[in-house]
């Protein structure tokens, strides 16, 4: 967020709530990755789990960071859902799949409307949907 007035929670790292503002008026000055780097420098990354929602570019940055640093992370994806019941396939998101012998559409892609919208960071190939 840009300023403190954009937030409805209080920055409380002791309770696991880290907020950021562009101007530094509340919490960490910078973006979500800046906050994650501050947490990493404090040596507390083994004590956190990330829950995130927001714009897809930010989600992709958080996904990359959490996978790289082996931090548990759950991502709430947002996308346009024309039908909301899985018929139109408009909200397909590509998954990381480990079994190379099975490559069906349903193994490779999930639908945000019926399979999500919450996904573990390591299960997603990308958040850029």
88, 62, 56, 122 alpha-carbon torsion, rounded to 10°:
-20
> pLDDT by residue for the chain (129 residues), tens digit each?
788 888 888 899 888 888 889 898 998 999 999 999 998 888 877 778 999 999 999 999 999 999 999 999 999 998 888 898 999 999 999 998 766 666 678 888 999 999 999 999 999 999 987
The model's pTM is 0.84
Task: Report helix, strand and coil shares of the chain as percent, to nearest 5.
Answer: 35, 20, 45
- Spatial strand order of the sheet with 118-120 comes to 50-53, 73-76, 118-120
The predicted pLDDT at position 127 comes to: 93
The predicted pLDDT at position 112 comes to: 95
């Amino acid at each position: 967020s840009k300023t403190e007035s954009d937030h409805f929670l209080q920055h409380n790292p002791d309770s696991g709530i880290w907020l950021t503002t562009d101007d530094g008026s509340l919490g960490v000055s910078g973006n979500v990755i800046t906050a994650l780097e501050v947490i990493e420098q404090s040596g507390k990354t083994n004590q956190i789990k990330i829950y995130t929602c927001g714009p897809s570019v930010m989600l992709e940055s958080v996904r990359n960071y959490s996978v790289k640093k082996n931090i548990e992370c759950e991502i709430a994806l947002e996308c346009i859902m024309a039908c909301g019941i899985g018929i139109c396939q408009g909200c397909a998101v590509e998954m990381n799949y480990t079994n190379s012998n099975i490559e069906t559409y349903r193994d490779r892609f999930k639908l945000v409307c019926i399979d999500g919208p919450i996904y573990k960071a390591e299960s997603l190939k990308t958040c850029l949907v």
